[in-house]
Amino acid sequence: MAGETAVGLVAFLVAGARPNFMKIAPIYREARRRGGVVCRLIHTGQHYDYEMSQTFFQDLELPEPDVFLKAGSGSHAVQTARIMTAFEKVCQSACPDLVIVVGDVNSTLACSLVAKKLLIRVAHVEAGLRSFDRTMPEEINRIVTDAVADEFFVTEESGVENLRREGRPEERIHFVGNVMIDNLMFQLERLQSDEEARFSTAGLKNRLGTYLFLTLHRPSNVDQAETFQGIAAALNEAAERFPILFPMHPRTRKMVKHHGVRLSERVHVLPPLGFRESLYLWKDAAAVLTDSGGLQEETTALGVPCVTIRENTERPVTLSLGTNILAGNRKSGILQALDRALRADRSRFQVPPKWDGQAARRIWEALLGEDPKVARPV
């Protein structure tokens, strides 16, 4: 923290699912450039890791996690309790100086609570984001994590405003930019030097030419038959205009079968893809349709039109400055938003402040007191 020595600082970097590792990877890589900082990777095992192969970690330039808690699936209460119990033992054994949590998954909440009760300092990356929808489990995780954290690293100005309104100390709020964009820039640079033809989807991409890219997995979209059927109807109609590439999440695949959802032959269902191959596809799409938080940000950073199939977003800067359009999850709203996205003037898109690939550097500068003002909002 500001004013403290960096010598011998031991930090735990906590991740619970694939997107979390994409967020901690830039923080880990930046820590390696600094003397006296030791980072331990803690994988809670919150989600089944269908793509967590050695190649996944190599792409991120991450070692395999130092600790794997094997929390597994379950209800929110069961999962959170498992993570807390296992993480407490690790903290009591290793006594870290700092716990860094990212995002808004159950692991973020669970490890923050454990660390604070053990009097270990907590830094929250992506702090202050709010959808103002408390029916979302992620919103509860965000609010509670920010209630106990010591340092708040913020991706956009709305997060600063939210934290101020909630009474967080001004000197602990650091507007640093977005580590997801750090990772995006890192992967994009490497993608340009890759043999893209090696990707399993290269032939399909080249054959289709113009296409849409889709991700869909949130319970609010796929768990209820009526909602999912309406979304599918929108997708099938959109596919008449442009084919759709759809790497399908295992949860979504399960619900397709459960609800008897039928997708057009022009919706090309793919297996889950690694980050780099997914980027290879969506960066050149005519538009992206998604209910993912990360893709709202990443498409904004690269100027790709995005239609978010949700009623709200905790990332409002992607609406006000970026490429994102909020569509809701009804057929008419999705199709209207897609039409707007396809007609959008791309020259008017803007990249939010500090989304420049340097967020991890600013995080460590603030944590280590190298320049305590560099990350402060104006």
Measured in whole angstroms, the distance separating CA 343 from the mean position of its chain's CA atoms is: 27
Residues 32, 38, 40, CA angle at the centre, nearest 5°?
A: 100
Identify whether 217 is a catalytic site residue. Answer: yes
Distance CA 103, CA 24 (A): 10
Helix (H) or strand (E) run with residue 308 in it? strand 306-308
Query: What Cα–Cα distance (Å) separates residue 267 from each residue in 246, 294, 331?
Result: 7, 22, 16
Catalytic residue among 76, 124, 217, 258: 217
**Any idea what DSSP says for residue 118?**
T
Concatenating the DSSP letter of every residue in 171-218 gives GGEEE---HHHHHHHHHHHHHTTS-GGGSTTHHHHHHH-S-EEE----
Return the residue matching tokens 């949590």. 101
Distance CA 27, CA 179 (A): 8
Return the residue matching tokens 């408390």. 134
Q: Classify the phi-psi angles of 146: left when phi > 0, otherwise alpha if psi is within -120 to 50, otherwise beta.
A: alpha
Catalytic residue ranges: 217
